[in-house]
Amino acid sequence: MKKILVTGGAGYIGSHAVVELYQAGYQPVIVDNFSNSEESVLAGIESILGVAVPTYRVDCADEAALRGVFEAEPNIAGVIHFAAFKAVGESVQKPLAYFQNNVGSLLTLLAVMPEFGVENLVFSSSCTVYGIPDALPVTEATPTKPASSPYGRTKQMCEEIIHDVSGAPDNKLRTILLRYFNPIGAHDSAKIGELPLGVPNNLVPFITQTAAGIREKLTIFGNDYDTPDGTNIRDYIHVVDLAKAHIVAVQRLLDHKADETVETFNVGTGNGNTVLDVVQTFEKASGQKLNYVIGPRRPGDVPAIYADATKAEQVLGFKTETSLADSLASAWKWQQTLKK
| Per-residue x/- track, 50-89, ligand WQD (CB under 6 A) | ------------------------------------x-x-
DSSP, collapsed to helix, strand or coil, labels residue 16 as: helix
Residue type for 233, please?
I
Q: How many residues sit close enough to ligand WQD to count as binding (CB under 6 A)?
A: 18
Name the minimum Å distance from CB 103 to ligand NAD.
11
Q: Which stretch binds ligand WQD (CB under 6 A): 7-15, 163-171, 217-225, 252-260?
A: 217-225
**Which residues on neighbouring strands pair with residue 147, listed in sequence order?**
none
Q: Is 221 in the site for ligand WQD (CB under 6 A)?
A: yes
Q: Which residues bind ligand NAD (CB under 6 A)?
A: 7-8, 10-14, 31-37, 59-61, 82-84, 86, 101, 105, 124, 126, 180, 182-183
Active site residue 151: yes
Binding mask 225-244 for ligand WQD (x = CB under 6 A): -------x-x----------
Residue 157 phi, psi (nearest 5): -65, -45
219 binds, among ligand NAD, ligand WQD, none (CB under 5 to 8 A by kind): ligand WQD
Site track 273-312 with ligand WQD (rule: CB under 6 A), x = hit: --x----------------------x--x-----------
The torsion defined by the Cα of 72, 75, 79 and 83, in degrees rounded to 10, comes to 0
What is residue 164's DSSP assignment? Answer: H
Residue 91 contacts ligand WQD per CB under 6 A = no
DSSP-H helix ranges across 118-149: none
Identify whether the C-beta of residue 155 lies closer than 8 Å to the C-beta of residue 146.
no
105 binds, among ligand WQD, ligand NAD, none (CB under 5 to 8 A by kind): ligand NAD
Active-site residue (options: 12, 26, 151, 180): 151
Contact 205, 183 (CB under 8 A): no
Q: What separation in angstroms does the CA of 106 have from each of 9, 17, 20, 215?
A: 15, 19, 23, 36
18, 6 contact by CB (below 8 A): yes
User: What is the dihedral sign for C-alpha 186, 190, 196, 198?
Assistant: positive
- Using only C-alpha atoms, what is the Rg of the chain? 19
Say whether residue 138 binds ligand WQD (CB under 6 A). no
> Where does this chain bind ligand WQD (CB under 6 A)?
86, 88, 126, 128, 182, 201-203, 206, 218-221, 232, 234, 275, 298, 301
**Which residues form the catalytic set?**
151
